[in-house]
Amino acid sequence: MGKRKKLAIYPGTFDPITFGHLDILARASAIFDEVIVAISRQGAKSTLFSLDERVDLARKVISQKTFDCPVRLEVFSGLLVRFAKERGAATLVRGLRAISDFEYEFQMALMNRHQKGEVETVFLMPDERYVYLSSSMVREVARLNGNLSAFLPRPVIAALKKKYRHPKRLVS
């Protein structure tokens, strides 16, 4: 009998994708045989970037990186655990930055377990450089024309400049 392939789903809105997301993805790729980056079609929050823009940015930055396993990008809607089950994934990967993330992520993991008990959630911590980093914080700093070069890949910075019509500064 062959070894069962370990497939994980790394879900999110990725609005926009950051070095923190890429760090969690790299960590997941060292653990699993394949990772699907699952971009949510809809979310509880409104997004700055359209679905097509989020997919395009994620595709660009993921293709520029080397991972320990195959990584593919998919869009999903509806229940995440249903999407995971349809893909044959038994694991969801979530990043935990700080204690403030834990309560929400813990509740979500328990609800997912209630929906599909055979799908587990694994929490990974990012590098310390990204512990306080969030997409919403990045959007706010970009809106105010701050320097984001330590937190975002160049294609994302270019997209934010265009969104906020800032000719300079996001990369100082």
Under DSSP, the state recorded for 16 is T
Query: Which residues form the catalytic set?
Result: 21, 45, 97, 135
Segment (H or E) for 71: strand 71-76
Q: Provide the token pair at 169.
A: 């500064």
| Residue with token string 């993805």 | 25
- Rounded CA-CA distance 14/151 in Å is 13
Helices 51-63 and 19-29 cross at an angle (nearest 10°) of: 60
Q: How far is CA 147 from the centre of its chain?
A: 21
Residues comprising the chain, all counted: 172
**Alpha-carbon distance 36 to 67, whole Å?**
12
Q: Which residue has the tokens 């328990």?
A: 110
